[in-house]
Structure 1
Amino acid sequence: MLKKKNRVITDQVEFVCLSELVPQDHLLRLVDASINFDFIYDEVKDLYSDTTGRPSIDPVVLIKLLVLQILYGITSMRQTISDAQVNLAYRWFLGYGFQEKIPHFSTFGKNYERRFKESDLFEKIFERVLFEAIECGFIKADAVFFDASHIKANANKNKYVKKMAQHRVHKYKRELMIEINADRESHGKKPFTDDNDNDSDGTMIEEKEVKESTTDPESGMFHKGEKERCFAYTATVACERNNFILGVKTAPGNVHDSQVFTDVFQDVIEKFNDIKAVVADSGYKTPGVVVKLCKQIKYRLCPTNAP
């Protein structure tokens, strides 16, 4: 028997509870049960005034909007807000009822520029979530996987100025120079001169000509193989076996992956003592990276052989 759905019911008034409409096994229920976002209030309390101004948007809501965007792969905050207006699970996760107005998409951008941009709030949130994962036993960091992704900047590749910029050279290059000069002196030869400046940690600083975007000066000109030459960023990420991110760092697109690797690896190895293997592609196969891995991993596995 053919049946037609009566759509009149959509105009009827019903007494319903928003929480009852969200399935118990929904992903956002699991996230909400696993992470207590209230710690954010303590982190941002100094960024708000206690006496002046209008009541703010709840900072936890602003962060949860970002969580929604990341969890569901939404490409913009405008679209995230648009989806939250009609998605019951999103409203429940944010703590908004049926009739409450979701914040305008520009609200997050304004708060980021005025309050969060110069703070380390997002780093603290990342560390807190990672700590929760460690406490629950989700992290298996015996093997760490490194890779870098290049993200195209929203900048015209033909609009740039040429500048001389300081270029960071791997610390190992200076250590190698010291060893070579010691060997030359032992054989009565004149040591090579080092005309480069050095950082406090011994890292060599060289100067080279670079193209700086007039639209996005923080990006860098990226070109690799047959890929289009463009201004871009590079994001280096370290993950463990269960795909939890243990460390991340962004840099201009003209910075070699191996240079960013050292900073991320040092940060990860200080937090996790059970690393036995590091997996990376051939882009990281440089003398500096190899020496650092051999020294660090060998020391972790056999402390008596510490350099």
Structure 2
Amino acid sequence: MRGSDVRSGSLFSYVNLEVRVRRDHPLRVIREIANAALVSLNEDLEALYPRRLGRPSIPPERLLRAMLLQAFYGIRSERQLMERVEFDLLFRWFVGLGVDDPAWDHSSFTTNRDRLLGGEIAAKFLQAVLAQPKVKRLLSSDHFSVDGTLIEAWASIKSFRRKDGRDNDSSGPGRNAERDFHKEKRSNGTHRSTTDPEARLYRKGDGQAAKLCYMGHVLMENRHGLAVDGGISLATGTAERETALQLVASRPGRRRITLGADKAYDVRQFIGDLRRHNVTPHIAIDGHVRITGKPRVTAIDRRTTRHPGYGVSQRCHKRIEEVFGWIKGSAGLARIKLRGRARVDAAFTLGLAAYNLIRLPKLLAPPA
């Protein structure tokens, strides 16, 4: 018998979201770990919301779970996220909304999100996830890798104007008039973006275009390739090495560790600083030939490269590109839609936590 295509409404709904989500769905493991981490952050979340009269805000736990979904599924805007929460039962279950609960307005969601991003909750959430007992046993405490990547700022190159205001703009209709940069020398010392003043004009290498951007950094443990720390800095030529030292110095304990990195970190001052921090530098050798025809003198010597662990660290270091690839590709942070270093740092750090969570279902699954 052919089924009818006629839709009839019902007076009552008896949908149980817990039943609708299959038992082996990866989000079940992720939600369990995320909820345990949020419980440990209860005091920090309470401090963001002083007790006073007024309407209750969006619960910060639900807000953060919604932000994780935005990273998991690469949802490009808050408006699209709220539309997805409205009709997707899986999203409602993960966030903690009932079937009959209305989704939030996207403007209210954005306002509450900005409060959450400004409270250093992202960094604390990342550490709370890593502190879970079932996650902590996956981490290496001896072998790490570090690297940096460019995060393009949400600002046009046309907004990069002189600080003294003496720009020779061509008059044109509209707010997006033509901008003539011909024969104009631009630098971060004399210019800054009027849209995002903390963004810096930077290019990764010779022959590449200069862009307004920030620099993202990740410290990864080498056993399973999970991000254990990271953040955003201003884009400068020394930011990668300076932030790497900060990440190493902030680690708990003072036992000797190894640190893998690419040849951009092969600088004598940086290598010396690592050794003073009780870190064995497993840095790739920068042996490029100079213009004079002589090879560059490396700061890595045989006392490091002669050990088999040096080659292992170099192989494991390549996995850090998977972290950057997922954050910039799947999570959509290649060009971040936030302005200001603090907010960009919070979104990037939350992206690191989301990357770890998306990896955990397979890492925690029992062997077949």
Give yes or no for the alignment of 1:7 onto 2:8.
Answer: no
* Number of the residue aligned with 1:106: 107
- 1:133 Cα shift? 5.7
- Aligned equivalents of 2:84, 2:189: Cα separation in 1: 46
Q: Pick from 225, 228, 236: which aligns with 1:243? A: 225
1:228 counterpart residue number: 209
Return the letter of the residue paired with 1:34.
I
In structure 2, the residue matched to 1:217 is 197
Is the 8 Å Cα contact of residues 151 and 213 (structure 2) preserved in structure 1? yes
1:54 aligns with 2:55: yes
- Greater radius of gyration (CA): 1
Is the partner of 1:74 in helix, strand or coil?
Answer: coil
Per-residue deviation, residues 58-80 of structure 1 (Å, max 9, x unmatched): 11111111111223333333322
Gaps in structure 2 of 5+ consecutive residues: 165-187, 282-368
Measure the CA separation in 1 of the matches of 2:48 and 2:41: 11
What are the residue-to-residue correspondences of 1:120-131 with 2, within 5 Å? 120-131=120-131
Q: Which residue of 1 aligns with 2:20?
A: 21
Match of 2:156 in 1: 156
Amino acid in the other structure paired with 2:235: G
State, as a whole percentage, how many aligned pairs show the same letter. 23
Write the distance in 2 (CA, Å) between the matches of 1:158 and 1:54.
Answer: 41
Partner Cα distance (2:268, 2:27) in 1:
45
Contact 1:40 1:59 survives alignment (8 Å): no
Correspondence for 1:92: 93
More strand by share: 1
TM-score by length of 2: 0.61
| Partner amino acid, structure 2, of 1:278 | L
* Structure 1 residues 240 and 210: CA distance shift in structure 2, 3 A: farther
* Residue type at the aligned position of 2:99: F
Tell me if structure 2 keeps the 8 A contact 1:155–1:213: yes
The equivalent of 1:74 in structure 2 is: 75
Q: Equivalences for 1:166-181 in 2 at 5 Å?
A: none
* Residues 1:140 and 1:210: Cα distance change in structure 2 (over 3 Å): farther
Amino acid of the residue matched to residue 226 of structure 2? F
Letter in 1 for 2:65: K
Q: 1:5 to 1:251 in 2, by over 3 A?
A: farther
Matched, 1:281 2:280: no
Matched residue SS, 1:251:
strand
- Partner in structure 1 of residue 349 of structure 2: none
Q: Deviations over 1:259-297 (max 9, x none)?
A: 222212222xx2266664222111122122211233322
Alpha-carbon contact 2:258-2:280 (below 8 Å) kept: no
* Whole-angstrom CA distance in 2 between matches of 1:231 and 1:79: 26
Question: What is residue 249 of structure 2 aligned with on the other side?
Answer: 266
Residue in 2 aligned with 1:203? none
Please report the TM-score for the alignment, with normalisation by the length of structure 1: 0.72
Structure 2 counterpart of 1:64, one-letter code:
R
Gaps of at least 5 residues in structure 1 are: 165-207, 300-307
Cα 1:272–1:226 shift into 2, 3 Å = farther
Indicate how the Cα distance of structure 1 residues 291 and 14 shifts in structure 2: closer, same or farther if over 3 A, else same. same
Q: Residue 143 in 1 paired to residue 143 in 2?
A: yes
Give the aligned partner of residue 338 of structure 2: none
Matches of 1:163 and 1:283, distance apart in 2: 31
Aligned to 1:30: 29
Which amino acid is 1:26 matched to? H
Greater shift in the superposed pair: 139-148 or 273-282: 273-282
Partner residue, 2:169: none
Cα distance in 2, alignment partners of residues 4 and 275 from structure 1: 71
Deviations 1:220-273 (A, max 9, x none): 111132322110011011111312211112112235322222212222xx2266
In 2, the alpha carbon distance for the partners of 1:227 and 1:16 equals 54
Distance 1:9 1:139, change over 3 A: farther
Amino acid across the alignment from 1:247: D
Aligned length: 251
Secondary structure of 2:76's partner? Answer: coil
Residue deviations 1:180-225, cap 9 Å, x none?
Answer: xxxxxxxxxxxxxxxxxxxxxxxxxxxx835321111111111132
Counterparts of 2:124 and 2:228, CA distance in 1: 13
User: Does the 8 A contact of 1:41 with 1:60 survive in 2?
Assistant: no
Q: Which amino acid aligns with 1:128?
A: A
Distance 1:212 1:131 in 2: 40
Q: Are the aligned partners of 1:143 and 1:275 in contact in 2 as well (CA < 8 Å)?
A: no
Give the number of the structure with larger relative contact order, counting CA–CA contacts within 8 Å between residues 6 or more apart: 2
